[in-house]
Amino acid sequence: MIKTSLLAATMATTNVAAKQESCKALVLGGGGSACAYEVGYLWGLINYDDPVAVDSGKYAYDVITGNSGGSINTLAIVAWPKGSEREMMNWVRKLWHELHTRDVWGFWPKAFPFFDGVFKESGVLDD
């Protein structure tokens, strides 16, 4: 999966770089809480770096890709236009801050959810 993301980023970067002097790419990994960490890290960069550098497009990426939870972050980031990095990161940070496990998956609503999931349903989790 990571190889596919890196290949896609490389191909897209090559296409963009041919049209301009440089190309900034961001590759985001997966892994649940690691995805929330990535957002916190980017939020810190954007909010604590030199405001002039941020406003000049230092964190406006040309290519963004991710796998698993990183693809959720990728989708959230690319939905915002370049130049609105601060607003975008505040929105994505709030999204992860308010996201709970029960919003993603849950056990079967029965007396013995694990037992019922293993022996009576398609799996332990009711997704």
Q: Could you give the CA distance from residue 51 to residue 114 in angstroms, rounded to a whole number?
A: 51
Q: What is the pLDDT of residues 12-66, one digit of tens each?
A: 555 555 567 888 899 998 887 888 889 889 999 999 999 999 888 888 889 999 9
Name the residue among 12, 46, 44 with its Cα closest to residue 27: 12
Q: What is the pLDDT of residues 53-103, one digit of tens each?
A: 988 888 888 999 999 888 888 988 888 888 888 899 899 889 888 887 777
